[in-house]
Amino acid sequence: MPDIFNKVISFVAGENEGESDKDILLKQLTREITQNKHAKFYRAKQGDVDPSLGTYFFNLYRVIYPLSVFLKDPAREAKIKRVTLESFLDKNVLDIAKRLSSDGIAELKKSAGENLIKLLEEDLAALAKGFDSPRIEAADKSYNLIASIRQFVFFDFCSLLRKFDPEMREGDFLSQPKFAPVEAEIVVTEIAAFLSILPASGPDTDWKTVFEILKYCNAGQDVVPLAQWNSVLVSLRDLKQSRILDLIGKLALNNPVWEVKPIVPHETLSGSWLEEKNREVRAVIAGITGNQRNAQISALEKAVFNASQITRLAFYTYEKGKILDDKELDGYLYAPALNHLAAFIQDYLSKEIHELCDIILIRGQWTNNAASRAMSEGYHVVMEITDEITTLDLTLDEDGSNGPRLRGALLRVDRDRTQARYIKSIVSSINEEALNLINRAVPSLIVVGKHFKMLLDDYEKKPYELIMNWKELATFSKLPLVQRMAAAYKKINYFVQLMILEAKPEEVQ
């Protein structure tokens, strides 16, 4: 053993004094190939591959050709994956998988009502738990055997056979090929590819289950009978054990240490299937949630503004941001929320709430100055944001700080994708500023709303605790003061809900 190892090292090092170790090893390989049981495949004197090897490949190609045709169909591939997995699922997990199919979810929508999302979430969790079992590992093993069949039958036999007979046509098994000897060096690349994708043939390999799955996916008809496939495996195992193709490759390349590494499929059918199923169901849930969110937004818009699609800004709007969406860039993420905030301040806060605050905060005799001060500060914080909203919007004007830069970059982005990063930087900064304004306004509005609720409660108390002169304050309002405060509390509450929905709950602090 050490002597052989030293010879290999000498060969790699390129020591060529006298008869090199490489020459010695090649001579040994030549003697070995002449004594091989498949010696007829190689003509040692000429360095050619014999036509009989072409015949061997042709006979192999003829047997496995139906499998290559069958497995080329993408739709059938999807079915094979599903059937393979379902063959190993227990009944409970299989029932869950069926409920989470497109048809299953459609049926569930008819009866689940408001519980649909909850039921889908529960089924997803149960499905993931059910996939943690030895049965699923067996499904992966079977699918990897199918993957090994696929890579084997997709080997380009026809290209190899044309080296022996240039007139060879794909799938033609009626014409008798006329194979001629071929220089070994010409076919060595194909031989290497062939050796790398030989299917497994050990005694513990469950080919029976695999071929039952393929038969089921072929409307109950054998694509290739299992007995015929087993004969192919016996022949391939004999060929591999003889090492004849390895010897041909080494001699063709004058490389005694040449070797081919096998390509063994390691596909996780269960993992990829579960991931895809999770993605599908999450998309359904997102769609339901999105529809619910849109319906809630529409209802809140009408409750607050008695209308929908309120626009008060000129540039930071959903419509103006569509050009960014068309370029597959982030648009004006908070345009709906900021437009609603501007409208709420202009149409309601600066009018109705302003009047109420004048009556309650200025004329009211408060027993708790801290409470009146907190309400006053909350109101003024939101009112002061008005100018900042306008300033942000005007930065996108033709004369603004962002408008010309953004417009110029958008004109160039189609031919220069580096402009996308520049645009992203500008828009991200604008969106961040918009979100900051919303995050400042919402807590202050909550404070004002809470104080209206406290005042409504106080109005019903006898004696009063927060404001001592409610009767006097009522004289300053044309409509009943309690009615106006109740409406203000309700509208602010609805508006805060609208802001949270439009700015995303996780982003509004």
Beta bridge partners of 48: 43, 183
What is the DSSP-derived secondary structure letter of residue 348? I
How far is CA 22 from each of CA 25, 371, 433, rounded to the nearest angstrom?
5, 96, 73
Which tokens is 199 given?
A: 């299917």
508 and 479 Cβ atoms separated by less than 8 Å:
no
Summarised one tens digit per residue, pLDDT across range 96-147 is: 888 888 888 888 888 888 788 899 999 889 888 887 777 788 888 999 999 9
Q: Which amino acid is at 215?
A: K
Beta bridge partners of 43: 48
DSSP for 379-426?
HHHHHHHHHHHHHHHHTTSTTSSSHHHHHHHHHHTTT-TTHHHHHHHH
Which band of pLDDT confidence, cut at 50, 70 and 90, is reported for residue 292?
Answer: confident
Phi, psi of 49 (to 5 degrees): -90, 130
- pLDDT on residue 316: 95
- pLDDT on residue 57: 96
Summarised one tens digit per residue, pLDDT across range 236-245 is: 999 999 999 9
360 and 455 Cβ atoms separated by less than 8 Å:
yes
Residues 6+ apart with CB under 8 A from 242: 36, 37, 38
Number of alpha helices (DSSP H) and beta strands (DSSP E) in the chain: 23, 3
Torsion from C-alpha of 347, 352, 355, 361, nearest 10 degrees:
-110
CB count within 10 Å of CB 404 equals 13
pTM: 0.62
- pLDDT on residue 508: 43
d(CA 94, CA 88): 9
Q: Average the pLDDT over 414-439 and give the result.
A: 92
Beta bridge partners of 42: 49
Which band of pLDDT confidence, cut at 50, 70 and 90, is reported for residue 2?
Answer: very low
Q: What share of the chain is helix, strand, coil (3-state, %, to 5)?
A: 70, 0, 30
Note every long-range contact of 71-75, with CB atoms under 8 Å and residues 24 or more positions apart, other chains counting: 71/149, 71/150, 71/153, 71/154
189 and 252 Cβ atoms separated by less than 8 Å:
no
Which of the pair, 37 or 4, is modelled with greater confidence? 37
Residue whose entry in the numeric block shows the structure tokens 């569509």:
322
Residue whose entry in the numeric block shows the structure tokens 């979100």:
435
Lowest mean pLDDT among 68-77, 306-315, 454-463: 306-315
Summarised one tens digit per residue, pLDDT across range 173-223 is: 888 899 999 999 999 999 999 999 999 877 778 999 999 999 999 999 999
Residues 6+ apart with CB under 8 A from 65: 153, 171, 173
Summarised one tens digit per residue, pLDDT across range 51-65 is: 999 999 999 999 999
